[in-house]
Structure 1
Amino acid sequence: MTTPARLTAGRTVDRLCGKWISVLTNHDAPKSVDDIQSLLAHFLANVAGKTEGHWKELIGPVTALPIVLHPRSNWTVAPKAKSAELAAIEQAVEIVRGAHPYVRSPKPTS
């Protein structure tokens, strides 16, 4: 993992990663992009402080991608944060993606 990002609360994402990785791997697999966004917001609220609503707004939309074209992970986020909060979101995405790389793929449109 990269150098921990300093957060306004003075804590780092890396500080609780061991605990959260075990929680995430034992957590039910997210079934939708909304579940991924909620999981990321919950993770960040507990590690970095502030509310889940605050983090959901900064995380932005989570998009499901076709597994055929994205075999390593089929979801992506579009964060709307700056500096330390963006670094925290990127680290949280790495951790959550490691435990839950896939959500249901979108149905192809014809």
Structure 2
Amino acid sequence: MAYVVTENCIKCKYTDCVDVCPVDCFHEGPNFLVIDPDECIDCTLCVAECPASAIFSEDDVPDDQQSFIELNARMAKVWPSITERKDPLPDADEWNGKPDKLGDLER
């Protein structure tokens, strides 16, 4: 079972989670992070570090966020790995908690 980054990360892209990941399983898109399910070791460290509360165990992904399981797996194969913390997007705090951001995802 892997962990999954869900919708609330879109347009925030806090990278606190990247700092604690022991296997560097995060990948970075223009305005979103994903977790490579083949690399994730289910350590749970990233969950508590996410200021947007956007990371869930695959078994606990909310029903309306299920598409993010496949999205994480697909984009992890395309986007580059991120191994160091970076600043969040400039207006991340304004986007944190806003619903219906999937249409704002940049690929």
Task: Give me the TM-score of the superposition, normalised by structure 2.
Answer: 0.30
Larger Rg: 1
Higher relative contact order (CA 8 A, sep 6+): 2
Higher helix share: 1
